Amino acid sequence: MKINPIGVIDSGVGGLTIAKEIMKKLPQETIYYFGDTLRCPYGPRRMQEIQSFTLELVSYLSQFPLKALVIACNTATVAALEAVQKAISIPVIGVIHPGSRAAAKVTQSRRVAVIGTKTTIDSQAYVRAIAKVDPKIHVLGSATPNLIPLVESGQWDGPMAKRVIEDELQELQEQEFDTLVLGCTHFPLIENLIRAVLDPAVQIISPAEETAIDLEMVLEKLDLVEKGVGKVEHQFFTTGSPASFQTIIRKWLLLDDPSVQHVDLRDYQTSFKK
């Protein structure tokens, strides 16, 4: 099983931030990434629908001999982590607990802000996860739904992107906090623009690195870390445009010719109960 790939699923391109950290930390591991770009964003959708979509992605990737799965989407982690863990027998890792632990370690004022989709913020998932580490930390949640389409479009450079970010963070800036959690895996792609809007003293936490650390620990515990020196051939799947997806993969992961396959889930019957 050591040579088996690691599955990574996301509502779109944001999970590439997780994939990038996995590639850094575990360079000999093969990643099979599935981004549901056709139905992105997940944030405004009903919880049951998000869980259903997530199980469809997992079911599709389960045709491959995966050794672990990462739900590289905060909204999908909220809606479907437990359901996915029950549905498959391999280790399944979400992104909320790793990011929460990192924020709890960093904050000095014990005031942590979290930005994410409305579903993620309304779920209070980060409030509960951070409270498990330190119940005295005050968590400020702010839904920033307009940032996700900005990232998915690939147009995150220029004055228009800056205006969108300023508008989305305006309410949050009226609050006091010393740590900001990027509670959506899309947001590290625009971290430099987010950082430019905030007080320079604010620490920004991306769950990506912590999630990769969690994955490495799980694989080491199960003796599943691939340590060979063979060629690694990552595979990418998308429900949307392969060309657009490939452009973002090249830009973010610096892969010359990534293999991207379009998947029409209407033609695929999920093997899991919804």
What pLDDT, in 10s, does the model give residues 100-132? 999 999 999 999 999 999 999 999 999 999 999
Domain 6-94+209-267 CATH (choose: 3.30.70.3340, 3.40.50.300, 3.40.190.10, 3.40.50.1860): 3.40.50.1860
pLDDT at 269: 64
| Distance between CA atoms of residues 6 and 227, nearest Å | 14
Pairing between β-strand 31-35 and β-strand 92-93 as defined by DSSP bridges: unpaired
Low-confidence ranges of the chain (pLDDT < 70): 156, 269-274
Q: Say what the pLDDT of residue 84 is.
A: 97
Distance of CA 260 to the CA centre of its chain: 19
Contact status, residue 248 vs residue 14, Cβ threshold 8 Å: no
* Buried/exposed code over 5-23 (b: 16+ C-beta within 10 A; e: otherwise): bbbbbbbbbbbbbbbbbbb
Contacts of 131 (CB under 8 A, 6+ apart): 137, 139
Spell 105-126 as b/e; 16+ CB within 10 A means b: eebeeeebbbbbbbbbbebebb
pLDDT of amino acid 272: 64
- Among 23, 73, 103, 172, the one annotated catalytic: 73
Q: Which CATH architecture has domain 96-207?
A: 3-Layer(aba) Sandwich (3.40)
184 annotated active-site? yes
% of the chain at pLDDT higher than 70 = 97
Q: What are the start and end residues of each CATH 3.40.50.1860 domain in the chain?
A: 6-94+209-267, 96-207
Q: Which amino acid is at 264?
A: D
Query: Which residue of the set 165, 180, 184, 212 is catalytic?
Result: 184
User: What is residue 274's predicted lDDT score, i.e. its pLDDT?
Assistant: 47
Model pTM? Answer: 0.90
Q: Let me know if 40 is a catalytic residue.
A: no
Are residues 114 and 142 in contact, defined by beta-carbon separation less than 8 angstroms? yes
Residue 5 DSSP label: P
Give pLDDT, residue 157: 72
Residue 130's pLDDT is 97
Q: How far apart are the first and last CA of the chain?
A: 28
